[in-house]
Chains A and B, each alone.
Chain A
Amino acid sequence: MKWQQKKAGLLLAVLGLIGLWGIAAPSKAEALDASETVLSGISTPATDEIAAKGDPGAEKYGNASDIAMADAKKGLTLADIANQVGQNKVGINFTWTLICGFLVMFMQAGFALVETGLIRAKNANHTMMMNFMVYGLGLFAYWVCGFAIQMGGCAPIANLGGSFPLNSEHVVNFLGKPWALWGTKGFFLSGATYDVSVMVLFLFQMVFMDTTTTIVTGSCAERWKYSAFAVSTIFLGALIYPLFGNWAWGCGWLSQLGVNFGLGHGYADFAGSGVVHSVGGLTAMAVAMQIGPRIGKYNRDGSPNVIPGHDLTYVLLGCFILAFGWFGFNPGSTLGASGNGCLRIGSVAVNTMLAGCTGSFAALLYMWIRYGKPDASMAGNGLLAGLVAITAPSGFVNTLSAAIIGWVAGILVCLGVEYFDRVAKIDDPVGAMSVHGVNGLWGVLSVGLFADGRSNYGGSWNGVAGSVTGLFYGDAGQLVAQLVGIATLVGIIFSLSFIFNWLVDIVVGQRVSAKVELAGLDIPEMGALCYPDFQLKAADYSGGSVSGAAASSALKG
């Protein structure tokens, strides 16, 4: 009983103290004047102690003394802490975005290996060098004008601290609606765009553009003139990619379909199934169509022959590198890991992983059931197809949808390869048109179907409040926006790519001579063999490998 009385007394005393503190404490308005609120009495570890003994337990580093003070005489204030918190948030987001960008940059190695492994050894130097130089050529073109056209008028990106200098967009009014067409600020990253936030955005966007340019080199391998490749790549990085990038990501007209026409949240493409992969795949189709098939690909009656690649180890290793890099591609597209719903990076990463796995599984099963063998190169392409397809919806869907999207992509890539080889007769040595073109479009469409309305990136997307929601969750308008995006890709982007590469064909000439093609492009085009110590010999395609056998039966029907 005494104990209970004592306890009650103690409780009353504590409550009284709290009440007194409430009366004596500064009002809310006063507390907000953070610059004047000096925080005293915070003890920090003695520096001489750390100097003498070190800090092996990591208990002393990282304390109040690490916070920069605006006025050392005044001491540490709440404003100093608030500023430090803000800088930490931006610092976390800068670091996240940059590291993800570095991962995406490393995808170039994956693309180089996949493409080189899928072509013949006599063209290995040429294909490797195309993959190598898209980095330099594309980057240069993007720095000169591509970035400005794409992001020169984008809205401030809160996660990166604002990116305020990118504030100039060319807009025309047509049929009573504003149509934002291209950005006009950031050429050469000069003037006000010499800004740390803009630099982070540039690096991340640049490596995405680079992915697009490397898609084309695969489809046109083994017969594309190196000079034509160089001119075509520069144009793609300087104009075509940035144009669609602006319309989708740079506050362009597609992204504003929600604001201007009430179509969901406008065209939504989280990480670039459309912007990156479809643009690359459709450009690849435009160029491959003009260049024509490799000598020996088709017989006189139009039936296709299999021309197997020279190294499956390259192909599968490349696929793994790409799958690794995709963890930068998709989760990195939040442009941060702190604030505005960025913690959804976990969900984005799992969706990415799942769709890649189901894509690979579906392609493997398709080939196994249809042709009797589990084809290695198509399993690899299935993995990439799943990853391409989930790129646009990765930030908006749940795991079940991600698995379905990947599964469908795995089947689509097999059907796509068969269609282009047998029906359209557009020779694509690596299957890039099916992997990136077809599945890029599927990814864009799947946002309009599967987006579950549960994501929340700062309360709005493309200027429309709420979450992106697809047809299956109640918003048919989002599907319309996605379809208009697809129409833009197959209508405008394909046509632009076709017209420009037509001009390149007239001026430079797209295709090497038959003599060069038969000899292999390494010596005539590049001046050096990739494998000088090996004697290269054409193999019998009819059954030398599992891949060859499955592919051979696939193509002979």
Chain B
Amino acid sequence: MRLIGILCALGGWALSVAGLFITSSNNGRILIACAGIAVSLYGSLGVLNGYYLERAIWKK
């Protein structure tokens, strides 16, 4: 699960950078970069944090 979260975070960055090659339009690049940031945040705050929340000390 942790590896998936890390891959997701890294994938978001890769998407943002790929946007620079996919389109030359600034509007398109802004949209793709925002999507990349959202994917990265999902990987870190969603997947990774979710993993730790499932095993949280206060649930024991």
Distance to closest chain B CB from A257 (angstroms):
8
Q: Bound complex: CA of A299 vs CA of B11, how far in Å?
A: 35
A292 touches B57 (CB 8 A): yes
A498 touches B33 (CB 8 A): no
Distance to closest chain B CB from A486 (angstroms):
6
Contacts of B34 in A (CB 8 A): 483
Q: Which of B1-60 contact A (CB under 8 A)?
A: 2, 6, 9-17, 20-21, 26-27, 29-30, 33-34, 36-37, 40-41, 44-45, 48-49, 52-53, 56-59
Q: Bound complex: CA of A289 vs CA of B37, how far in Å?
A: 19
B17 touches A299 (CB 8 A): no
Which residue in chain A gives the minimum CB-CB distance to B57?
A292
Distance to closest chain A CB from B55 (angstroms):
8
Q: Bound complex: CA of A327 vs CA of B59, how far in Å?
A: 45
Q: Which of A25-68 contact B (CB under 8 A)?
A: none
A491 touches B16 (CB 8 A): yes
Which of A295, A476, A498 has a CB less than 8 Å from the CB of B30? A476
B16 touches A487 (CB 8 A): yes
A488 touches B13 (CB 8 A): yes
A302 touches B40 (CB 8 A): no
Which residue in chain B gives the minimum CB-CB distance to A292?
B57
Which of B2, B27, B49 has a CB less than 8 Å from the CB of A502? B2
CB of A337 within 8 Å of the partner chain = no
A487 touches B17 (CB 8 A): yes
Given contacts A292-B52, A490-B41, A491-B9, contact A479 B16 (CB under 8 A): no
CB of A184 within 8 Å of the partner chain = no
B58 touches A299 (CB 8 A): yes
Which of A285, A476, A479 has a CB less than 8 Å from the CB of B44? A285
Contacts of B56 in A (CB 8 A): 292-293, 298, 425
Q: Bound complex: CA of A492 vs CA of B56, how far in Å?
A: 26
Q: Which of A261-280 contact B (CB under 8 A)?
A: 261, 263
Main secondary structure of the interface of A (DSSP, over half): helix
CB of A24 within 8 Å of the partner chain = no
User: A476-511 toward B: CB 8 Å interface, digit per residue (1/0)?
Assistant: 110110011011101110110011001000000000
Q: Bound complex: CA of A302 vs CA of B45, how far in Å?
A: 17
Q: Bound complex: CA of A295 vs CA of B36, how far in Å?
A: 35
Which residue in chain A gives the minimum CB-CB distance to B35?
A487
A494 touches B40 (CB 8 A): yes
Given contacts A302-B58, A495-B9, A495-B10, contact A484 B20 (CB under 8 A): yes
* Band of interface residues on A: 35 or more
Distance to closest chain A CB from B51 (angstroms):
9
Q: Bound complex: CA of A406 vs CA of B29, how far in Å?
A: 27
Q: Bound complex: CA of A486 vs CA of B2, how far in Å?
A: 22
CB of A538 within 8 Å of the partner chain = no
Q: Bound complex: CA of A299 vs CA of B41, how far in Å?
A: 26
Q: Bound complex: CA of A490 vs CA of B9, how far in Å?
A: 7
Contacts of A488 in B (CB 8 A): 13, 16
CB of A23 within 8 Å of the partner chain = no
Contacts of B26 in A (CB 8 A): 476-477, 479-480
B6 touches A498 (CB 8 A): yes
Distance to closest chain B CB from A418 (angstroms):
14
Which residue in chain A gives the minimum CB-CB distance to B45?
A424
Contacts of B40 in A (CB 8 A): 487, 490-491, 494
Contacts of A495 in B (CB 8 A): 6, 9-10, 44
User: A496-536 toward B: CB 8 Å interface, digit per residue (1/0)?
Assistant: 00110010000000000000000000000000000000000
CB of A175 within 8 Å of the partner chain = yes
A483 touches B6 (CB 8 A): no
Contacts of B48 in A (CB 8 A): 289, 498
Q: Which of A355-390 contact B (CB under 8 A)?
A: none
Which residue in chain A gives the minimum CB-CB distance to B28?
A480
CB of A426 within 8 Å of the partner chain = yes
Contacts of A484 in B (CB 8 A): 16-17, 20, 33
B33 touches A483 (CB 8 A): yes
CB of A399 within 8 Å of the partner chain = no
Which residue in chain A gives the minimum CB-CB distance to B14?
A491
Which residue in chain A gives the minimum CB-CB distance to B29?
A480
Given contacts A299-B58, A424-B49, contact A480 B10 (CB under 8 A): no
A300 touches B59 (CB 8 A): yes
Distance to closest chain A CB from B14 (angstroms):
8
Distance to closest chain B CB from A365 (angstroms):
28
Which residue in chain B gives the minimum CB-CB distance to A482?
B33
Contacts of A286 in B (CB 8 A): 44
Q: Bound complex: CA of A292 vs CA of B17, how far in Å?
A: 32
Q: Which of A402-433 contact B (CB under 8 A)?
A: 424-426
A297 touches B58 (CB 8 A): yes
Contacts of B59 in A (CB 8 A): 300
Which residue in chain A gives the minimum CB-CB distance to B33?
A483
Distance to closest chain A CB from B11 (angstroms):
8
Q: Bound complex: CA of A292 vs CA of B60, how far in Å?
A: 13
Distance to closest chain B CB from A326 (angstroms):
27
Contacts of B30 in A (CB 8 A): 476, 479-480, 483
23 chain-A/chain-B pairs, Cβ below 8 angstroms: A257-B20, A263-B20, A263-B29, A286-B44, A289-B52, A292-B57, A476-B26, A476-B27, A477-B26, A480-B26, A480-B29, A483-B16, A483-B30, A483-B37, A486-B37, A488-B13, A490-B13, A490-B44, A491-B9, A491-B10, A494-B40, A494-B44, A495-B44
The 3 A-B residue pairs with the shortest CB-CB distance in the complex, in nearest-first order:
A491-B13, A487-B16, A483-B33
Question: Other CB < 8 Å A-B pairs besides A480-B26, A483-B34, 7 of them?
Answer: A175-B21, A289-B49, A487-B40, A490-B12, A490-B41, A492-B13, A494-B44
